[in-house]
Structure 1
């Protein structure tokens, strides 16, 4: 389904607008539900054919990490395995369990302070749809508010592509031979002629089109994290593939190692670090609403973590696409312990690095910090 505005100029013959929400069925003002620890709540169970047009969610919890400790899943047409599976915050464009404002055309985290989570991706179904929220926290959602705005249709074509989203995470490794370098600062760098050691953000079987990516990178060092090229292998083709990029910032439609907030409806940087160089957490995003990546049989999409895959990074992504069913079953979802953030690198850590460097240089009291053996 190409374009968020699909059908906006059509008359509504045979289309009925509906909403499922958390309103207070007693007529009172407690317009929310409670989701206990360990509980999976079904927030929407739609029958027949239709299209989900809008999802809005906000909540209250004593767990400050609830955005990563809860999981949103969506099932189309009675399927057993979800077509959408991601931590709640990551799906709506907030990484690391944090809350902050995020602006794009299909997904947004709106005021107050990014606590209103919105999605406008159209999501068609032919034989029912179900949306669930699993609470893996030790605390409850003391109040969970939601709207699911959708249309009832007489029918949806069987070959209409269904909406999918998949969360992945990997702590990447430094290059075994080159070490952890970039721009040849520490050691000469080699050439990468495959996708073998890249970070994988999509591995899709079926026919469809790719429409977006959230990219959350936690960088433990000050060096620029973004010399990695994006690489797309369509329908089983070999490297270098039909689409081959020139650098991470280029893929996210920016340039020259940016470190500034910028939010365009299609791409941008919703969170940046305020540390040494590019150390810390950066949230990049890119939506392919005007230029989707089409595939007939399969799509393998990945990106280098530094040129020639030489940087140790904590990478998390949410990929969004449409495809005809059946889809490839997602890998087992990581436990909440495997979704925890990596420890923050602090000023103390950097000072310890400096101390070890000073010792390696002979310990002169006059060492400044830029000396090279």
Structure 2
């Protein structure tokens, strides 16, 4: 690996850290997040590069459901007024649904206990940098963090890290509008991606480096209920037809055959595999560390929600990319009530038939 190849070479700059340590020397090593009162945890006016962020948090009034969707991170580069990174904290660090789960990838890791130790290793060069944290929780939150960085080092690229969260209850077709379940799952034609779920829609010059995507299956049926038959379609620099066209959701995430098993690798994996007949909540990631997708003018990264966009499910995702500033201003983040997961759909408990279609 390149990191090991270069580990003996002295790094430029001064190794520094911002953290939530107790300034009195005591053991109160956290900042208090009060509802709707943003705090700044990192503010540097001279050039540098963030190399690692660690965080953990806990509600001060006991467990609070979906806390990791209620805390929002925002990063601002080089004096900009609009954030280049804006996402709920759990989603930014690798998975959604407002929960945590142990997993390992190269850029993001959720570590024990139960994935509550959040880590990011993506490099973030800057001329100036500010990171804020805002809580939409019901009660105060203990917030612990490290931001590890090198100061006194000039950026070696004009590109800055960006990340944006998106959530949508997709609009499919009524099941009674198609002849049968096979037609619902596998029928129809989609060549232009017009109604696809949009992971990223960015303007400027840069490169897309991946996403985590989280789906909650909202369909109750004893028929084949695989949610992921849709293809990924990526449009670069205003292309009307896909520049890159995939063959299925699990294929984009480098897995196969409607998977349900949890799996972690450096660049892709399945954090949650779902329940019987592909019910419940799933989480995937694919980080294009070795195979980024460059763009000079724009990029639109999309995926079908079921083949030909037939399915209505709960989708959310965080897209990651580097680009030169200025970036396109993000659409406003959904209010907290619209960020929270939906109740689980309860599947029938008796033995289900899941015919395999040779598609």
**TM-score, normalised relative to structure 1:** 0.87
Is contact 1:229–1:244 with CA below 8 Å preserved after alignment? yes
- Specify the alignment match of 1:72 in structure 2: 73
- Specify the alignment match of 1:278 in structure 2: 278
CA drift at 1:342: 1.5
CA drift at 1:53: 0.4
CA drift at 1:134: 0.5
CA drift at 1:162: 0.2
Alignment CA distance shift 1:188-1:106 (3 Å): closer
Alignment CA distance shift 1:45-1:187 (3 Å): closer
Alignment CA distance shift 1:231-1:181 (3 Å): farther
- Specify the alignment match of 1:219 in structure 2: 217
Alignment of 1:268 with 2:240, yes or no, is no
Alignment CA distance shift 1:9-1:201 (3 Å): farther
CA separation in 2, counterparts of 1:242 and 1:12? 38
- Specify the alignment match of 2:357 in structure 1: none
- Specify the alignment match of 2:114 in structure 1: 113
CA RMSD of aligned residues (A): 2.4
Question: Is the partner of 1:167 in helix, strand or coil?
Answer: strand
CA separation in 2, counterparts of 1:188 and 1:226? 11
CA drift at 1:112: 1.1
Q: Deviations over 1:231-282 (max 9, x none)?
A: 011011111x22100000100001111111111111010012223x011101
Please identify the structure whose Cα radius of gyration is greater. Answer: 1
Is contact 1:181–1:187 with CA below 8 Å preserved after alignment? no
Is contact 2:67–2:137 with CA below 8 Å preserved after alignment? yes
- Specify the alignment match of 2:250 in structure 1: 249
Which of 229, 234, 237 is equivalent to 1:235? 237
Alignment CA distance shift 1:52-1:186 (3 Å): closer
Question: Is the partner of 1:323 in helix, strand or coil?
Answer: strand
CA drift at 1:369: 8.9
CA drift at 1:118: 0.3
CA separation in 2, counterparts of 1:264 and 1:182? 38
Alignment CA distance shift 1:156-1:227 (3 Å): same
Alignment CA distance shift 1:202-1:178 (3 Å): farther
- 1:69-218 matched pairs, under 5 angstroms: 69-126=70-127, 128-141=128-141, 143-157=142-156, 160-175=158-173, 179=177, 184-186=182-184, 189-218=187-216
Q: Deviations over 1:178-226 (max 9, x none)?
A: 7479972558822112121000001011111111100100012251111
- Specify the alignment match of 1:21 in structure 2: 19
Query: Structure 2: any 5+ residue segments left out of the alignment?
Result: 355-359
Query: Structure 1: any 5+ residue segments left out of the alignment?
Result: 355-367
Alignment CA distance shift 1:131-1:185 (3 Å): same
- Specify the alignment match of 1:363 in structure 2: none
CA separation in 2, counterparts of 1:337 and 1:200? 21
CA separation in 2, counterparts of 1:233 and 1:220? 28
Is contact 2:185–2:307 with CA below 8 Å preserved after alignment? no
Is contact 1:178–1:188 with CA below 8 Å preserved after alignment? no
CA separation in 1, counterparts of 2:129 and 2:71? 20
CA separation in 2, counterparts of 1:312 and 1:118? 32
Alignment CA distance shift 1:9-1:327 (3 Å): farther
Q: Deviations over 1:292-334 (max 9, x none)?
A: 0111111011000011000011000000010000000100110
How many residues align structurally? Answer: 345
Alignment CA distance shift 1:180-1:333 (3 Å): farther
Is contact 2:207–2:292 with CA below 8 Å preserved after alignment? yes
Question: Is the partner of 1:315 in helix, strand or coil?
Answer: strand
CA drift at 1:99: 2.0
CA drift at 1:11: 2.8
